Each structure stands twice: as structure tokens, then as C-alpha cells.
């Protein structure tokens, strides 16, 4: 069992919501994750927890985990971080407004 501080969990959640994606190397002995000052093992465990609750989609390739935030995950992080409804992650697929031009 790994105990994770609330500040570390919040840091990972904020990064995930801001970007919409996160990449984690499968190397629990790393002192820090490459993009934030949180132990890599903690990031792995946080993302494993989100993946088991179907809040992120996971791909694994060449000892790297690739996580993308889905719609349920966006709603969960909005509630956890107390964000307004109009905020979206950077790489979230938003439907573009339909426009059709007839020349």
C-alpha cells in the first residue's frame, strides 16, 4: 500500500486536467516524474486508481503508460478541483461549430 499526500494527488490531478493527457514511465524507482515534482511511483498509483474507475483511458507501449482523460474523468476532476463547467483540458476533443459555406 502506498500512502500519497493530498498535495501530490492534487498536483497530478491539476496537471492531468490542464493537459488532458499524461505519460508515465514504468520505472517506480525514479525520484520524480519528468513533468512534475511528485514521485513517479505515486503518479503511477494515482493513474492506476483513475484507470480502475474508468476515468482515464490507458495505453501501454515500450514500458510507458499513456493516459488520456475521458468525459467521466473530466467531470470527476472538475468536482474534485472545484472548477467551473466551461473549463476543458487543452487536448479535449470539443465539437467544432458547424459551418457550411456555399460558394
91 within domain boundaries? no
99 within domain boundaries? no
For residues 80 and 23, give the distance between their C-alpha atoms in angstroms, rounded to a whole number.
21
102 within domain boundaries? no
pLDDT at 101 over 50: no
For residues 78 and 82, give the distance between their C-alpha atoms in angstroms, rounded to a whole number.
6
1 within domain boundaries? no
**R_g over Cα of the chain:** 16
Q: What is the DSSP letter of 94?
A: P
48 within domain boundaries? yes
For residues 82 and 93, give the distance between their C-alpha atoms in angstroms, rounded to a whole number.
21
Q: Which residues form the domain of 13?
A: 6-81
Task: Supply the pLDDT for residue 28.
Answer: 85
pTM of the predicted structure, to 2 decimals: 0.83
pLDDT tens sequence across 30-82: 888 888 899 999 999 999 999 999 999 999 999 889 999 998 999 999 999 99
Kindly state the helix (H) or strand (E) to which residue 39 belongs, with its residue range.
none
CATH assignment of the domain containing 13: 1.10.10.10
93 within domain boundaries? no
Domain total in the chain? 1
Which of 94, 92, 52, 53 has the alpha carbon at shortest distance from 74? 92
What's phi and psi for 81, nearest 5 deg?
-95, 0
Cell numbers for 3: 500512502
Amino acid at each position: 500500500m502506498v500512502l500519497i499526500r493530498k498535495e501530490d494527488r492534487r498536483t497530478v490531478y491539476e496537471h492531468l486536467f490542464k493537459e488532458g493527457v499524461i505519460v508515465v514511465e514504468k520505472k517506480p524507482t525514479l525520484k520524480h516524474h519528468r513533468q512534475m515534482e511528485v514521485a513517479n511511483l505515486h503518479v503511477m498509483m494515482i493513474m492506476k486508481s483513475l484507470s480502475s474507475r474508468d476515468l482515464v483511458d490507458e495505453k501501454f507501449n515500450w514500458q510507458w503508460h499513456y493516459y488520456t482523460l475521458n468525459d467521466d474523468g473530466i467531470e470527476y476532476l472538475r468536482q474534485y478541483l472545484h472548477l467551473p463547467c466551461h473549463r476543458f483540458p487543452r487536448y479535449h476533443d470539443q465539437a467544432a461549430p458547424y459551418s457550411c459555406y456555399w460558394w
